[in-house]
Amino acid sequence: MALLEVKNLGITFGGLHAVDDFSFSVKKGQLYGLIGPNGAGKTTVFNMLTGVYKPTSGGFTLDGENLTGRPPIEINRKGIARTFQNIRLFKDMSVIDNVKVGLHNGKKYTVAEGIFRLPRFFKEEKELDQRAMELLSVFGLEGERDVLASNLPYGKQRKLEIARALATNPKLLLLDEPAAGMNPNETAELMDTIRFVRDKFEMTILLIEHDMKLVSGICEEVSVLNFGQELAHGVTTEVLNDPKVVTAYLGE
């Protein structure tokens, strides 16, 4: 059964069709890749799926519910979380506080209870700390809970961003070029991390990536965008060997 169903999705900026009539579906528990040359419209698709942009045509459903055009906070609460191509951590906050920000969906105490430090505030804060530490331990970051996010090595900042996204308790995790800036060893470790996240959290993952070794290593199916339109889709190994796809990346 498809968790994410995208039908005829499109957006126009002035006279430019950044994405045009794009359709695909991602099954529950699947690792799905969205690839294409620079400027093909991949991040624009992510921005529509997370409410940053409102589509001008088509739409999408998550678990059968139409979320097209809803605001980002509502889409996140319904179950879509993301990371960014350029890491967007709260760099002057500690590692654990970055994850606790992601746990906001589970917070139930009121502003007044927080201001006056009433019993429910302390009880829930303790529970949030425990949950945050559980997530940090998944990524081997529990020993750096009090370190500023800006002081983490690059690879660990990527892991922290994924941990923060998972803290919102999503059904679908969107990863925007998670291997960008990583060396081969870090990329190999990231591949293991992504597989582990999928299996441990029973997560459905949609990722944008230019590293074809990573894509072929973990993605079961892919869709290829070129100039905002679908060029190919299907089983990863077959798509990556499609002459049209090779030409789009490398030229004639």
Residue that has been written with the tokens 């459903």 in this structure: 61
pLDDT digits (tens, 9 = 90+) for 23-82: 999 999 999 999 999 999 999 999 999 999 999 999 999 999 999 999 999 999 999 999
Identify the pLDDT of residue 122. Answer: 74
Where exactly are the structural domains of the chain?
1-79+170-252, 90-167
pLDDT of 121 reads 75
Q: Is CATH 3.40.50.720 the right assignment for the domain spanning 1-79+170-252?
A: no
Output the pLDDT for position 181.
Answer: 86
What pLDDT does 5 receive? 98
Question: What's residue 140's pLDDT?
Answer: 93
All residue ranges of the chain with pLDDT < 50 are none
pLDDT reported for residue 237? 95
